[in-house]
Amino acid sequence: MYFVVLAKFKKKPTKEVVAQNMKMLEMGAKEGVKNHGIYWTLGRYDAVGIFEAPNEKVAMKHAIRLEENVASETMIAIPVEEARKLAE
């Protein structure tokens, strides 16, 4: 399952905070979370992440873990090819 995360920093992204976030991402990887990309952005959100997880529970645990440093909104995403089949 694919997920898109829109994130807003709660703390200034210092080297220490970034290192802490990387450690949390590593913990997620041990639970089956595969990050496809994390992008810092301009505008309403500070970052956008795309990740894959085995199921919603693992994705939720991963998102909750990151809540210490970021406020986020996580959405389930499906590839457009699969979405088109739903419309048939």
Indicate whether this model's pTM tops 0.95: no
Question: What are the extents of the domains in the chain?
Answer: 2-86
- Tens digit of each residue's pLDDT (9 = 90 or more) over 6-34: 999 998 889 998 899 899 999 999 999 99
Other CB atoms within 10 Å distance of the CB of residue 75 = 9
Contact (CB, 8 A) for 74 and 3: yes
Q: Helix (H, G, I), strand (E, B), or coil: what is residue 6? A: strand
Fold of 2-86: Alpha-Beta Plaits (3.30.70)
Q: What percent of the chain has pLDDT over 90?
A: 74
DSSP conformation letters of 37-76: EEEE-SSS-SEEEEEE-SSHHHHHHHHHHHTTTEEEEEEE
